[in-house]
Chain A
Amino acid sequence: MSAPRVEPKKSGGIRDLGKMFGAGQSSGRQIGILGALVVIIVFFQIATGGLTLDPINLINLVNQNAYVLILAIGMVMVIIAGHIDLSVGSVAAFTGIIVAISMQSWHFPPALAILFGLVVGAIIGAWQGFWVAYVGVPAFIVTLAGMLIFRGGNQFVGSSQSIPVPDAFAFIGNGFIGDFGPNTNYSNGTLILGLLVAIAVIWQEIRSRRTQSKMGSDKAPVWVSIVKLVILEAVVIYATLLFAGGRVGTSYPISGIILGVLVLLYSFITRNTTFGRHIYAVGGNWHAAELSGVKIRRINFLVMMNMSILAALAGMIAVGRSVASGPGDGVGWELDAIAAVFIGGAAVSGGIGTIVGSIVGGLVIAVLNNGLQLLGVGVDRVQIIKGLVLLIAVGVDVYSKKQGRPSIIGRFTRSRDINAALDRPDITPTNSAEETSRPPATTPN
């Protein structure tokens, strides 16, 4: 036998950019959707005459969407495992009202109430996880039932009334990083947060280069890292100044911090832990997973339970934001979360998806919502547009897979680095002229 014909892989910037998302087989899609997000932001920034990236609007945007993005984190894990959760909006509303009552009627202190809310979420999740994992009822049915049960539960417990919550509790939904120190015209707390993020970005890059060299795989040239860092740091600094420069008393929202911590935590869990690996294994091929010793029922149970805990958290943040819990909370959230996950590149059949991708997908919806509102487009038409965006985003993806062609973004990038753009399992090159212009592969024999 002779050695395989292997050409050294070109590792261009685009491929490495992909690595920012944990690379893997779906990175091409994620870069595409990130590009789409940038385009949308720039478009609305121009169309609204600079209102989109105005500090007040931006802070509002984070505040308004943090809870849906938190749901998207749980949802992508559920979808990777091959399930779906339709109950999250109702679970959020139900937990919200119970927590509100716990403070109003039972005089729970806010911190205890939050803990209590998470426990309620865990119990609901255990209930749904039990049906999905141990009884074997499809998650679609279990959570459709849950959607009805907990919506009804919310209205029954709260007698369809709104229940106010104290300010100390509302902080998680409408609070901001505090200000202190000398007057700089900026929120100093947010500046420090920005600084920490900037340092973390550099540290992360150094670490990933070190890992690459430990693996002995071909490292990207240093200039790629530098360009990447310059772009990232510019974004971090710009965002920091925006968030820190809002109206007095506002700055980066607490809900945004909770979101950020969760994104980091769950990205780590899905990418670097055995539990995370097992979620992908179950969704990718549960037969093979079972025969590899994965306890699939436990994984399914935990994934469903985790989703409800995050739904409870999202519900409490939303209650905090509106300083009251009401019967209409959380209606339609499940759809926003699911849309975010699919726009972010997850596969309906399970096994594929990432946390960061889903967050970017969620941001696409959020910016679209926000920008259209700023332009004075009515809720009716916003819905129509959102629906179309979801359909087109997933449609383009499916179509390009079927045709064996790279997606639009893939096409755009391939002239520079065909290997990176085509580094996906389901894609085969279309235009052979370009490929053969490369020197012929050497054939060691």
Chain B
Amino acid sequence: MAIEPTILEMRTITKEFPGVKALDRVSLSVKAGEIHSICGENGAGKSTLMKVLSGVYPYGTYEGEIVYQGEVSRFKDIRSSEAAGIVIIHQELALIPELSITENIFLGNEPRRFGTINWVEAKRLAIDLLARVGLEDDPDTQIKNLGVGKQQLVEIAKALNKSVKLLILDEPTAALNQADSQHLLDLILGLKGRGIASIMISHKLNEIEQISDSITILRDGKTIETLDVKIDGVNEDRIIRGMVGRTLENRFPDRNSDIGEVFFEVKNWTVQHPLTSERMVVKNSSFTVRRGEVVGFAGLMGAGRTELAMSLFGRSYGTFISGQVFKDGKEIQLRNVSEAIDHGIAYVSEDRKALGLNLLDDIQDSVVAAKLSKISRGQVIDKVAEHHVAEKYRKSLRIKTPTVQEGVNKLSGGNQQKVVLAKWMFTDPDLLILDEPTRGIDVGAKTEIYGIIRDLAAQGKGVIMISSELPELLGVSDRIYTIFEGTITNNLTADEADPETLLKSMTSAKKKVTQP
């Protein structure tokens, strides 16, 4: 076998933050034109390694050596790594919502003529780039009018414009649905065909298995192994074993058998889109939750699941039109979020950075933020109690941090998600609504979160779980509702539900709703 040239060698990279050694002599070697995946638990150091590579953490702030295209590279910022053809697309997209596709693609890189921006040329180039990523939208469309999947493609178009040689994607499909994910993966494969190497970070192991040529596994800031897919014959279990150091037996916990009475009921819930008055995002929906029951909500992106949940949670989305909510047989009013919290309802948002956390806060402030009254006397906060609460959750949810006084912005994505979970568990809800609770979370932590969900149910609480991952919906829920275009189209018990039936109900309104 011919020795393939390497495009990148990262040698014994060590990176420390105060109190945390995020990377400990990590090595990574990427061959020219391959797709190289990086796997590891939350906080293993994946994003940090990529930030070192792309100059976010400049030369001098880490130890070790980066050899790129045969030369030792010392990037002092993102610009210098981009100049060398390394482009990173971060976990959080960095497009400007108010600007058009064209403007975003050429931001900071505008084609000029006679000292002014040549928009005609820019648009011509943009159409070209969009064709290459398979996006058919008008290049004048504002970014805010595009879905996440398309935004991701714009990011890649932007990278292509910078004549990328090594593309880094940090959890690119975390927020995408199946179809968009597949499109993106195909695109990455297409780029590979044109000689562009990619490094991909993802917690979706099936995707990794599908497209990778090699896989490097990090654990606790150390390189554990690099697998060659062709030689080692990799599958998901093999990757998991590398990540957590053992095989994971039951990915889904056992269901508890004693499901109680219906205690939460929504009748004929109808919500109007916040801007367009003729559009109803939730139409005449009715559903129930029993004590001790985990109820799944399946649907495509934009089917109205999040809208339904948020409109119930103190009318925080859209304009309320009609409907009733009953808890323990009595009708309740949920006119604002604090009323909802007082009625024992908690909503864990799908977007932890934008809606779930104040990134300026530290962990302990965040954990108690939704129920300060529980740790205060009158208006005065008991800071000792606050600290103990945060410590308790740090231990029980295994939040990976040196202290609970650490800022939440320093946590890895998965650990931030645990902080958000802790925040809502602390409100001691009767009904916990989880919106994509495992997005961006590693397999081990996912299993832990399923365990937590089951524990809450076993305590007699009701749990609603919105998820786009059918396996987890099927594995955790006792009952699943499907939603299509704002209407509940089906209601299946765990035994009745299977991927085909679910998908059918998620994509058409045909089947009649059967109430339990």
Contact = CB atoms under 8 A, between A and B. Distances in A.
Interface in A338-394: 351-352
A285 B407 contact: no
B35 interface: no
B238 interface: no
A293 interface: yes
Interface string B367-403: 0011111001001110110011001000000101111
Interface string B203-233: 0000000000000000111100000000000
A6 B63 CA distance: 19
Contact of B244 (A1, A217, A280, A404): A1
A222 interface: no
Given A217-B387, A290-B337, A351-B360, A274 B372 contact: yes
Interface string A290-308: 1111110000000000000
A362 B136 CA distance: 56
A441 interface: yes
A435 interface: yes
A299 to B, nearest CB: 12
A352 B379 contact: no
A302 B150 CA distance: 42
A425 interface: yes
Contact residues of A: prevailing secondary structure: loop
Given A285-B358, A432-B61, A432-B63, A291 B41 contact: no
B19 interface: yes
B380 A273 contact: yes
B63 A288 contact: no
Contact of A4 (B20, B62, B356): B20
Contacts of A352: 360
A101 to B, nearest CB: 36
Interface string B411-425: 000000000000100
B359 interface: yes
B79 interface: no
A23 B365 CA distance: 13
Given A7-B402, A217-B403, A272-B383, A285 B357 contact: yes
Interface stretch (A44-52, A121-129, A416-424): A416-424
A24 interface: yes
A272 B19 contact: no
Contacts of A4: 20, 43, 220, 400-402
Given A4-B20, A404-B57, A429-B61, A277 B360 contact: no
B14 A436 contact: yes
Contact of A435 (B16, B349, B405): B16
B115 interface: no
A443 interface: yes
B61 A215 contact: no
Interface in B435-456: 444-445
A277 B383 CA distance: 12
A211 interface: yes
Interface in A74-98: none
Interface residues of B, number: 68
A292 B369 contact: yes
B58 A404 contact: yes
Contacts of A9: 18-19, 402-403
Contacts of B349: 291
Most buried by B among A272, A284, A285: A285
B114 interface: no
B360 A289 contact: no
B6 interface: no
Given A211-B384, A291-B349, A5 B220 contact: yes
B2 interface: no
Given A6-B402, A277-B365, A277-B381, A351 B358 contact: yes
Contacts of A440: 21
Contacts of A185: none
Given A9-B402, A280-B361, A287-B354, A1 B444 contact: yes
A59 B19 CA distance: 46
Interface in B332-368: 336-338, 340-341, 347, 349, 354-362, 365
A431 interface: yes
Nearest to A349: B360
Contacts of A184: none
Contacts of A290: 316, 337
Contacts of B57: 404, 428
A419 B373 contact: no
A275 B379 contact: yes
Nearest to B243: A1
A274 B444 contact: no
A430 interface: yes
A433 B423 CA distance: 39
A25 interface: yes
A273 B384 contact: no
Interface in A6-37: 6-7, 9, 23-25
B355 A404 contact: no
A160 to B, nearest CB: 44
B110 to A, nearest CB: 22
A418 B19 CA distance: 10
Interface residues of A, number: 52
A441 B355 contact: no
A419 B19 contact: yes
A293 B370 contact: yes
Nearest to A7: B19
Interface string B308-348: 00000110100000000000000000001110110000010
Contact of B18 (A289, A419, A432): A419
B338 A295 contact: yes
Given A211-B383, A277-B369, A425-B409, A284 B24 contact: no
A277 B386 CA distance: 13
Interface string B91-102: 000000000000
Most chain B beta-carbon neighbours within 10 Å: one of A294, A428, A431: A428
Nearest to B76: A403
A431 B369 contact: no
B246 to A, nearest CB: 10
Given A25-B407, A425-B409, A430-B61, A273 B402 contact: no
Contacts of B21: 5, 7, 440-441
A281 interface: yes
B241 interface: no
Contact of A273 (B220, B361, B379): B379
Nearest to B445: A1
Contacts of A429: 16, 61
A113 B349 CA distance: 51
A293 B337 contact: yes
B370 A292 contact: yes
B337 A425 contact: no
A424 to B, nearest CB: 8
Contacts of B347: 291
B267 interface: no
B516 interface: no
Contact of B398 (A1, A6, A289): A1
A275 B407 CA distance: 21
Contact of A281 (B63, B369, B379, B384): B369
A287 to B, nearest CB: 5
A105 interface: no
B381 A273 contact: yes
Given A4-B400, A6-B20, A404 B61 contact: yes
Nearest to B384: A214
Contacts of B387: 215-217
7 contacts: A1-B444, A9-B19, A280-B358, A284-B358, A295-B338, A428-B57, A432-B62
Interface of B: 14, 16-21, 24, 41, 43, 57-58, 60-63, 219-222, 244-245, 313-314, 316, 336-338, 340-341, 347, 349, 354-362, 365, 369-373, 376, 379-381, 383-384, 387-388, 391, 398, 400-403, 405, 407, 409-410, 423, 444-445
Q: Which 3 residue pairs spanning A and B have beta carbons closest together?
A: A284-B358, A293-B338, A292-B370
